[in-house]
Amino acid sequence: MRNTIFSKAIELQDKLEETGSGQNKEHFEFKFKNEDKNILVTLEIEDNRTTINCTCLHSTLNGDALCSYQLAVLFLKFKQSLRKLKKRW
C-alpha cells in the first residue's frame, strides 16, 4: 500500500499528545523514541481564521502545504468534536 499523507496521519495518532492550550491556541507534540527532536504543531482558531503551524522539515520547506502532522492534529480535533456531539445527543 502506498504511504499516503492520510495513512501516515492515522499512524501518527499514537505519538500525538496535547501539551497545552491558551485562549485561541492549542499546542500538540509528537514524541518519537529514536529521535531527539520532537515535532510541534500549533493550532490557532480566531473567529473565522484557522492557522496551523508545524516544525517538521516538510512544513519548513513548503510553507503553507499541509503535512501529515498537521493532518493528524486535525483528525484528533475532529474525533474530539464527534465525541462531544455524541454526548450531547
Q: Which is nearer to Zn ion, 45 or 55 (CB)?
A: 55
Cβ 58 to Zn ion shortest distance, Å: 5
Cβ 53 to Zn ion shortest distance, Å: 8
User: Exposed (0-12), middle (13-18) or buried (19+): which is 4, by Cβ within 10 Å?
Assistant: exposed
Cβ 33 to Zn ion shortest distance, Å: 19
Distance CA 19, CA 15 (A): 12
> Which residues in this chain contact Zn ion in the complex, by CB under 5 A?
54, 56, 59, 67, 69
Q: Which is nearer to Zn ion, 31 or 83 (CB)?
A: 31
Q: Which is nearer to Zn ion, 45 or 58 (CB)?
A: 58
